[in-house]
């Protein structure tokens, strides 16, 4: 397993990191299964585990906490907040009121006294950057978080937050966690140039494009990934964007075969090849899933293979831009663009 420096923090993290979204009811995993996955990941050299309060309503954090008990100091532990945690309107967002409470809840579920990286899961348009950064800076000074970062922020919001930190003499985000894969390359256009400019570490989620690049989805096969059951619209091949993905996958499978690689090796090798990417988050639901992903830990794609990928999916292009979760609110709600 290779390791890289997380932005300018000096912290060394593995190029493959363990994402815990599938831990709990979302992935239908038991505690024993989660512990086995965590054990295997750590044995393979992974040292970064990423979860969130919203994953299975806090169950993921509880399972991670039990799985890492007794070896906390060997792990770079990351979690996230701001997504709704219940129906009460103030149990979400980036306000000081909620972030202080949310972090205490996460620490209790994880069974730790601090997290290494606390991330704002989504930009909250109702809360000022100063409010959020001030709360995070105070939590950092209190020793409850070591660093903090953003997740799925548009490039202009990353820049605005950096300037707000400077203007108000506050600590700044040191990482960004965007969606990135061969099929979703939009961050190459704006986000990665910005994160490189500001020296942010980048932890990319969904490098297998929700299973499209796992090798299980092909033209002549029924789509049976776990996500197809609760996100059917993402796999309906009558939808043009999904048809485009399937066509690309067929061509990418040929590239992988010619290079002697699995689709997973091709997909993970692609995202970790970008100089702006620190780590790729893998989200296994089973030990078999993890082992197939660990096989990509040392994969280094040649220039010829990367050129072949570029010929199939244009650099900077998203084949399903509507799934990126970073669309400005004014494009989603007509009331925000009309007087």
Task: Look at the block and give the residue holding tokens 């067929």.
Answer: 250
One pLDDT digit (tens) per residue for the chain, 339 residues: 999 999 999 999 999 999 999 999 999 999 999 999 999 999 999 999 999 999 999 999 999 999 999 999 999 999 999 999 999 999 999 999 999 999 999 999 999 999 999 999 999 999 999 999 999 999 999 999 999 999 999 999 999 999 999 999 999 999 999 999 999 999 999 999 999 999 999 999 999 999 999 988 887 766 666 555 556 677 787 788 889 999 999 999 999 999 999 999 999 999 999 999 999 999 999 999 999 999 999 999 999 999 999 999 999 999 987 787 777 778 878 888 888
Q: Tell me the CATH number at 50.
A: 3.20.20.100
Contacts of 101 (CB under 8 A, 6+ apart): 91
Q: What is the pTM of this model?
A: 0.93
Q: List the alpha helices (DSSP H) in 88-190.
A: 96-110, 129-141, 155-167
pLDDT given for residue 228 in this prediction? 53
Q: Is the CA virtual torsion 121, 181, 9, 326 positive or negative?
A: negative
Distance CA 225, CA 212 (A): 9
Active-site entry in 55, 118, 147, 173? 55
For the CA atoms of 182, 186, 188, 194, the dihedral, rounded to the nearest 10 degrees, stands at: -140
Residue 55 is among the residues annotated as catalytic for this protein: yes
> What separation, in Å, do the N-terminal and C-terminal C-alpha atoms of the chain show?
54
The total number of structural domains in the chain stands at 1
| Cα–Cα dist 185/276, whole Å | 13
Residues 190, 196, 201, 202, Cα dihedral to 10°: 30
The predicted structure's pLDDT at residue 232 = 67
Q: How many beta carbons lie within 10 A of that of residue 31, not counting itself?
A: 14
Contacts of residue 240, Cβ cutoff 8 Å, sequence gap at least 6:
none
Dist. CA 236–CA 227, nearest whole Å? 12
For residue 72, the enclosing domain spans: 3-337
Strands 12-14 and 201-204: unpaired
């Amino acid at each position: 397993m290779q390791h890289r420096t997380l932005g300018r923090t000096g912290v060394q993290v593995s190029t493959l990191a363990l994402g815990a979204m599938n831990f709990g009811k979302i992935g239908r995993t038991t505690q024993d299964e989660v512990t086995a996955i965590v054990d295997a990941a750590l044995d393979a050299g992974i040292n970064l585990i990423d979860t969130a309060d919203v994953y299975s309503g806090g169950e993921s954090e509880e399972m991670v906490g039990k799985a890492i008990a007794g070896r906390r100091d060997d792990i770079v532990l990351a979690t996230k907040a701001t997504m709704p945690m219940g129906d009460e309107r103030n149990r979400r967002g980036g306000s000081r009121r909620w972030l202080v409470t949310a972090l205490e809840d996460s620490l209790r579920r994880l069974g730790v006294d601090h997290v290494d990286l606390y991330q704002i899961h989504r930009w909250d348009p109702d809360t000022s950057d100063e409010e959020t950064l001030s709360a995070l800076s105070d939590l950092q000074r209190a020793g409850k978080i070591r660093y903090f970062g953003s997740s799925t922020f548009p490039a202009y919001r990353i820049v605005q937050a950096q300037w707000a930190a400077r203007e108000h003499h506050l600590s700044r985000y040191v990482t960004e966690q965007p969606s990135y894969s061969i099929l979703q390359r939009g961050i190459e256009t704006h986000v990665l140039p910005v994160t490189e400019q500001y020296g942010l570490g980048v932890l990319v989620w969904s490098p297998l494009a929700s299973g499209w690049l796992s090798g299980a989805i092909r033209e002549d096969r029924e789509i049976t990934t776990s996500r197809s059951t609760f996100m059917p619209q993402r796999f309906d091949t009558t939808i043009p964007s999904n048809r485009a993905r399937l066509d690309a996958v067929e061509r990418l499978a040929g590239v992988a075969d010619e290079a002697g690689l699995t689709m997973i090796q091709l997909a993970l090798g692609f995202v970790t090849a970008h100089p702006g990417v620190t780590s790729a988050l893998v989200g296994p639901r089973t030990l078999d899933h993890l082992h197939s992903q660990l096989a990509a830990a040392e994969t280094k794609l040649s220039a010829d293979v990367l050129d072949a990928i570029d010929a199939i999916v244009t650099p900077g292009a998203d084949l399903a831009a509507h799934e990126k979760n970073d669309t400005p609110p004014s494009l989603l709600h007509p009331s925000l663009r009309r007087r």
